[in-house]
Amino acid sequence: MQPLVLALFGLLAVSTTGLKLNLRQKGNKLLVCDFDQTISKVHVWKQSDMFLRSKPDIFSKKKEERRASLTAAQKARVDAGTFQMYRDPKAEVENYLNNPGYAAVASNVTDWIDIAFEGNTDKFGDALFGASRLAELKKFFEKAKEEGVTIAILSKGVKEFISATLKAVDLDKYFSGVYGIFEGGQDKTVGIKRVMKDLGGTRETTVFTDDDPAQIQHVCKYAQTGTIPSILPAAHCVEVNPRAGLTSEMLEQLQTILKSIDT
């Protein structure tokens, strides 16, 4: 009897180990969101661009700061070919430097709030997110986190600017990662794979939302026929109405999708 009992315990141990391994292989439940006109209700980047154009002295100063920052911290990455995009990297960098919006880095969010919103972060949040909508977003993200969902942003914007904007409206605590133009956001078919790798998501456990139909098409719908699947299943993607941001109905849709995922 003793050898039989030991054998049964051995089988149970192997079975349990295999079960744990399979669970780990399924991946983390991951929600990847665009930022402008998805988390925010307006295009925050363009709003900052308009602000800078109306303040040429601030723009000039910030543009020079951005140029110096790129040379010091990012030029090597561009030369190494890790700056992901559709077009030529060097041409994209010139566009990056010459576009007023790109000068609006993290430090400028404070300037923007102080000058355009009289230092009132509530006015800032209301203008860019909507007061009641901001409260709804916080409630949604809070619940998602409690249910074990890892949340990240993948955007064509600048990471520092997005992070500072989120912090100003107390949304930053919900996100495990912010991926901007220098982290793969320019080409989201590349960027989302990086986010999934970094945060443990898989094709079966990752959900994506964006207001750009082309991004939804590239990530969720291409190559669904034939032998090569799309990066994510179409059922795991929510397209946001342009210039509206995630609505209550869309948040409910995301919640339903996330609950349906077995990890």
What is the set of domains in the chain, with CATH numbers?
Answer: 29-260 (3.40.50)
Residues 6 or more apart from 109 whose CB is under 8 A from it? Answer: 48, 161, 164, 165, 168
Q: Compare 229 and 97 and report the one with higher pLDDT.
A: 229
The single-letter code of the amino acid at 109 is V
Interval 83-98 mean pLDDT? 54
| The residue count for the chain | 263
Q: Compare 260 and 103 and report the one with higher pLDDT.
A: 260
For 193-229, the pLDDT digits (tens) are 999 999 999 999 999 999 999 899 889 876 555 556 7
Lowest mean pLDDT among 84-93, 105-114, 239-248: 84-93
- Taking residue 16's Cβ as centre, other Cβ atoms within 10 Å add up to 10
Question: Quick one: pLDDT band at residue 121, thresholds 50, 70, 90?
Answer: very high
Position of tokens 């709804």? Answer: 136
Interval 158-167 mean pLDDT? 89
Question: Quick one: pLDDT band at residue 93, thresholds 50, 70, 90?
Answer: low
Q: What is the pLDDT of residue 57?
A: 75
Sheet containing 150-154, strands listed edge to edge, beginning at the edge strand earlier in sequence: 177-179, 150-154, 30-33, 206-210, 237-239
Q: What is the pLDDT of residue 12?
A: 43
Q: Give the C-alpha separation, 21 to 65, whole Å.
A: 49
The HSE-up count of residue 67 (CA atoms within 13 Å, CB side) is: 12
Q: Compare 87 and 26 and report the one with higher pLDDT.
A: 26
Strand, coil or helix: 127: helix
Q: Compare 230 and 6 and report the one with higher pLDDT.
A: 230
Lowest mean pLDDT among 37-51, 90-104, 121-135, 222-236: 90-104
Q: What is the pLDDT of residue 232?
A: 94
Taking the chain, what is the end-to-end CA distance rounded to the nearest angstrom?
A: 38
| Percent of the chain at pLDDT exceeding 90 | 44
**Running DSSP on this structure, what letter comes out for residue 231?**
S
Which segment, 24-28, 154-158, 160-164, 170-174, is predicted with the most confidence on average?
170-174
